[in-house]
Amino acid sequence: MHVHILGICGTFMAGVAMIAREAGHQVSGSDRNVYPPMSTQLAAAGIDIHTGFDAAQLDPAPDVVVVGNVMSRGQPVVEALLESHIPYVSGPEWLATHVLRDRWVLAVAGTHGKTTTSSMLAWILEFAGLEPGFLIGGMPHNFGLSARLGRAPFFVIEADEYDTAFFDKRAKFVHYRPRTLILNNLEFDHADIYSDVAAIERQFHHLVRTVPGSGLIIHHNRDGGVRNALAMGCWTPTESFSLTPDNADEGVWSARLAGSALGGAGGDGSRFEVLLSGATLGHVTWDLLGVHNVENALAAIAAARHAGVPVEIACSALCVFEGIKRRLELRGEVAGVRVYDDFAHHPTAITTTVDGLRRKVGRERIVAILEPRSNTMRLGVHQAELAASLQKADTIWVYAPADLGWDVQAAFSDSAVPAKVVSDLDALVTELAADLRPGDHALMMSNGSFGGLHERVLAALAERAKTGEA
């Protein structure tokens, strides 16, 4: 079967392409924004990518067109598709029909932590010898790819609440029918399609309705949005998790942190005990940072246990878990300056990322560089919280292109941390390279490519060091 995918370079649709190719289908696709890591992953799989959304790509006609949610009415290829007799489906529908129908689906949903938790869970199952399939919205270093068909029965999927396609406005995750479901957290996001947090809670409730009574829902027990979604009705056994140690309630997962680089009881999340109903079942020592990742780990361990993996095996797997591309990923070090990349899309995620780095580096200088790029960010929905989310940095830089649509300077006017707004990317590279000094940690946060800022700054630092030596 020839499967043609519109919007193929999005993280989800690239995963669908990889799985379809592995299942033996001829796969092609098109997109406008083509950049790593998804573009390189698709190229390595021998998948042909057409640039643009013109109608000519449908001649000769494929057997089916899989339509990504980036596509909208008015685009030439969409209009041509609707005029044709070519069958078309959404990505989630194709996946549900051709892959998930006969699998034990383990789904990870939530505003934050989906990619990391899904990656942890898939790696635990892999470490246990279960060879799971997975589709993850990022690139786990342990696998080197974001999706694979795997061996039945287990399939791990990052379950996104964004809408499915221009012809199906339900959340993508209602197609997946999980047997094991993780609900990490729930906050207002995707302001371009949801009017308020109550609308998102309703979508999560629709997901809860699809989990069978023989399944398991693992949820954060201190998250109000998750509690609201479950309160609308739940017909499945539950377990819960949160960082709070010494909770002896039945079915509650918790953690006890070791000390941190800053001292005190908080810990940086690099070492912790895993507890269930107050009893210690295992220990994890790993390279990840932040208490949010400890909670992600608890959820992954609980889900793996439901699939039959003992806790001690899960903990051993996490001890050699290597993390995910673009999640506080060190991209390089030049002249004593360490440059990190993080996929930031929401003030809560920004707060936890900066906090995790701060706990690790102590009093060394953190230079935070933010691109407000997501649809919700560009609408200015979270502008009032952005400055506060970066207060554990020492210096803040914000890239604000002219078409952003809201006053970034005003949003950071009361920041207790020095903040500078720059509207030109070239100027940002030049000024950053001049400002950074040995011992700094440059934390670059965007849910896009950030115009190659990481590589450009590293190159500028290298040139400065070379010139200085001369």
Considering only CA atoms, which of 379, 415, 422, 418 is closest in space to residue 398?
Answer: 422
Phi, psi angle pair for 76, to nearest 5°: -55, -40
How would residue 318 be classed by pLDDT, with cut points 50, 70 and 90?
very high
User: How far is CA 441 from each of CA 20, 266, 273, 364, 415, rounded to the nearest angstrom?
Assistant: 40, 21, 29, 8, 20
**Which pLDDT score is estimated for 190?**
62
Confidence (pTM): 0.80
**Which is higher by pLDDT, 246 or 438?**
438
Residue % of the chain over a pLDDT of 70: 96
pLDDT tens figures, 394-453: 999 999 888 888 888 888 988 989 999 999 999 999 999 999 999 999 999 887 788 889
Q: Delimit the domains of the chain by residue range.
A: 2-91, 102-319, 329-469
CA–CA gap between residue 423 and residue 416 (Å, rounded): 22
Domain 329-469: assigned CATH number: 3.90.190.20
| 140 has a pLDDT exceeding 70 | yes
Helix boundaries (H) for 192-288: 197-208, 224-231
List the strands of the sheet with 48-51, edge to edge.
48-51, 26-31, 2-6, 64-67, 88-90
Phi, psi angle pair for 85, to nearest 5°: -110, 20
What does the block give as tokens for 449?
């490519």
**Which pLDDT score is estimated for 248?**
81
How would residue 138 be classed by pLDDT, with cut points 50, 70 and 90?
confident
Considering only CA atoms, which of 36, 300, 49 is closest in space to residue 144?
Answer: 36
**Which pLDDT score is estimated for 470?**
39
**Which pLDDT score is estimated for 196?**
84
Domain 2-91: assigned CATH number: 3.40.50.720
**Which pLDDT score is estimated for 263?**
36
Domain 102-319: assigned CATH number: 3.40.1190.10
Q: SS3 for 231?
A: helix
| 271 has a pLDDT exceeding 50 | yes
What does the block give as tokens for 313?
């095996």
116-131 in b/e burial notation, b at 16+ Cβ within 10 A? bbbbbbbbbbbbbebe
**Which pLDDT score is estimated for 35?**
67
As beta bridge partners, residue 441 has: 338, 366
**Which pLDDT score is estimated for 267?**
76
CA–CA gap between residue 266 and residue 249 (Å, rounded): 22
| 109 has a pLDDT exceeding 50 | yes
Strand 168-171 to 180-183 pairing: unpaired
Q: SS3 for 95?
A: helix
How would residue 266 be classed by pLDDT, with cut points 50, 70 and 90?
very low
How would residue 261 be classed by pLDDT, with cut points 50, 70 and 90?
very low
How would residue 259 be classed by pLDDT, with cut points 50, 70 and 90?
low
Please list, in sequence order, all residues whose beta carbon lies within 8 angstroms of the beta carbon of residue 210, skipping any fewer than 6 positions away: 174, 176, 177, 178
Give, as one character, the DSSP assignment of residue 128. T
What does the block give as tokens for 316?
């051993």
**Which pLDDT score is estimated for 168?**
96
Strand 337-342 to 419-422 pairing: unpaired
What mean pLDDT value characterizes the chain?
A: 90
**Which pLDDT score is estimated for 346?**
78
**Which pLDDT score is estimated for 326?**
74
For the segment 44-61, the average pLDDT, to the nearest whole number, is 93
CA–CA gap between residue 415 and residue 395 (Å, rounded): 10
CA–CA gap between residue 462 and residue 195 (Å, rounded): 46
**2-91 with 329-469: one CATH topology?**
no
| 211 has a pLDDT exceeding 70 | yes
What does the block give as tokens for 227?
């509690």
